Each structure stands twice: as structure tokens, then as C-alpha cells.
Amino acid sequence: MRDEPYQRPARLDAILAAATHASFAMSCVDRTGSLLATLAASKPDGRFLELGTGVGAGAAWLTSGMTAGARLVTVEADASVQAIARRHLGSDSRIEFVHADADDWLNQASGLFDFAYVDCRPGKYLRLPDLLALLKPGALYVVDDMLPQATWPDDHQSRVDSFLERLPDVPNWHATPMNWASGLVVAARI
């Protein structure tokens, strides 16, 4: 069995080419993206959250699995990086692009979400309880880059280790760490 995606979002190649041109090396890998699309399809007309838009690779995968009535709020602190995502995905009316630091955004966030994909420190290594408070019962939570990455700063492994050690003690969720793709955690709010 090949564990490569059956389909890729139409705009993904252009997004990844723009990422290379901008020297942005932190987009989600195809296997992670394919899982995001599959899980997104399980939440028809759901409300989705992405912390860490980057250049929009994750958003492209998420929207490829979302239904027409679903909505995605995607938050990014770096306006120049998010501009790439806006250029390639801005015509999709299901997406709300928010230019803000995810930590600041969590201070004013409202409403409940059916799905959260977290690809930055807030909501993963910082302020996890605040993010979990935004998830409905049954909501899915996905994080990637749990395995060593070339883009990690020298002190990052300890953050990952601490996060993974805390997983069993987080109340009201069921989590599965996965030694697959870039290293994932998929969890459900209970």
C-alpha cells in the first residue's frame, strides 16, 4: 500500500512554488494534508480553525475536504507569508483570513469550532487549555511536526517532549500520537 494522497488540491502546487520562492519551508507535507482533508470531510458545514496559516498549504488541504457550507478561520502573524495564501485562496468565500498573532487572537476569540489545526506555538505548546475551550464536544484537534524538522530551532525538542508528555493528563479529550508523516497528534474533544 502506498500512503500517498489520492487527490491534491488544485492550487497546492502553485502555493508550494510560491513558498519556495519566498524561502518558506514550513508547509505541511502531503500526507498530513491528505489527512486534514479527510478529517475535514467528516465535519459537514463545520466551523474550522487554523492557527498558523503560513502560505496556505494547510488551508488548501482543509478546504478541499470542507463542504460548501463550512467556514475556516485561519490566523497568521506574518502578513507577507499570509499574503501568499490570500493570493491563491482569497477567492474562496469559506475562508476568513485573520492577520494577528495567534496568542493575541486567543485573547479575543469567540464561538465554538468543530475542528482545529494548530501549526504554531499558541494552541499547541502555549495556551492549550484556551484553545480547547473553543472546541465543541466531538471537535477534532490536529497538530503536526512532532518529529524532528530541519526548521526547528535548537531548543524546540524540549517543547515537543513536554507537549507529548502532557497529552495523557489533558482533561476532556482523547488523543492519539502518530509516528507518521511529520509526526501528528489527532485528538477529539469529549
Distance of CA 43 to the CA centre of its chain: 15
Give the separation between CA 106 and CA 12, rounded to whole angstroms.
28
Q: Please report the pLDDT score of residue 155 as a whole number.
A: 87
CB–CB of 72/45 below 8 Å? no
For residue 12, the model assigns a pLDDT of 94
pLDDT band at residue 150 using 50, 70 and 90 as cut-offs: confident
Topology annotation, domain 12-189: Rossmann fold (3.40.50)
Give the percent of the chain with pLDDT over 70: 100
Give the pLDDT confidence of 3-45 residue by residue, as tens digits: 877 889 999 999 989 999 998 888 888 999 999 999 999 999 9
Query: Among 90, 41, 89, 52, which residue's Cα sits nearest to residue 74?
Result: 52
Domains in the chain: boundaries: 12-189
Q: What is the pLDDT of residues 125-139, one digit of tens each?
A: 999 999 999 999 999
Strand order in the sheet with 113-118: 95-99, 71-76, 47-51, 113-118, 135-143, 184-189, 173-178
Please give the grid coordinates belonging to residue 63. 478546504
Instruction: Give the tens place of pLDDT for each residue, 42-81.
Output: 999 999 999 999 999 999 999 999 999 999 999 999 999 9
